[in-house]
A and B are shown apart, each in its own frame.
Chain A
Amino acid sequence: GAGVSQSPSNKVTEKGKDVELRCDPISGHTALYWYRQSLGQGLEFLIYFQGNSAPDKSGLPSDRFSAERTGGSVSTLTIQRTQQEDSAVYLCASSLKGVTIKAFFGQGTRLTVV
């Protein structure tokens, strides 16, 4: 596809369940980012992948959050034992060679934990 694709668009899950969110970056983009957008809180950095380097996980809020990027392309963000405070829009972005400000964002996955 031409842009960053995220799935699902919406996810409702019960508290305590695990969820997986998927991101398909733009083809050829070596850098991939996950951000969380909570109501009235702006965008919060979660994790950053750049090529084959070790990911920057400094933004992950707890050990319930993890992400992987397979084959330098698709990424999955996993939230284990979801809590209500995890409810947010999770945004993925990708860019060429880690030029962050020129990253293209997907439309996001809206996660609701009930």
Chain B
Amino acid sequence: QQQVKQSPQSLIVQKGGISIINCAYENTAFDYFPWYQQFPGKGPALLIAIRPDVSEKKEGRFTISFNKSAKQFSLHIMDSQPGDSATYFCAASDNSGYSTLTFGKGTMLLVSP
């Protein structure tokens, strides 16, 4: 049973455009929702995270939007740049981030110059 569903599998965006990646979860015990960025040959790195008591969190060009009632959250990358081309994973954890992570299947983002 896949507990975190991520879409799309791949995404091509022009430079300067907005990249949007969506995730949906099933387990209502999840209470921490991080996003990870992974470049080829590297391990995932934490990009931004949100708790369900807020509906939006912004860090630079990256924004997480969270809809608790719909059990959905999304990553928006504003002014997308070729250097943002990577695989992005959403994840979820319960116990305030002290439990192991459940990951989505990932989205390969390509930002064309």
Contacts and interface: CB of A to CB of B under 8 A. Distances in A.
A4 interface: yes
Interface string B52-87: 000000000000000000000000000000000000
Interface in A35-66: 35, 40-45, 48, 56, 59
B46 to A, nearest CB: 7
Q: How large is the interface on B (under 10, 10 to 19, 20 to 34, 35 or more residues)?
A: 20 to 34
Nearest to A108: B43
A105 B91 CA distance: 14
Contact of B9 (A40, A48, A105): A40
A103 B98 CA distance: 10
Contacts of A91: 43-44
B43 A102 contact: no
27 contacts: A33-B100, A35-B103, A41-B105, A42-B103, A42-B104, A42-B105, A43-B89, A43-B103, A45-B100, A45-B101, A99-B97, A99-B98, A100-B98, A100-B100, A101-B49, A101-B91, A101-B93, A101-B101, A102-B46, A102-B97, A103-B46, A104-B45, A105-B43, A106-B43, A107-B42, A107-B43, A108-B43
Interface of A: 4, 33, 35, 40-45, 48, 56, 59, 91, 93, 98-108
Given A100-B97, A101-B32, A104-B45, 5 more contacts: A43-B103, A45-B102, A100-B98, A100-B101, A108-B43
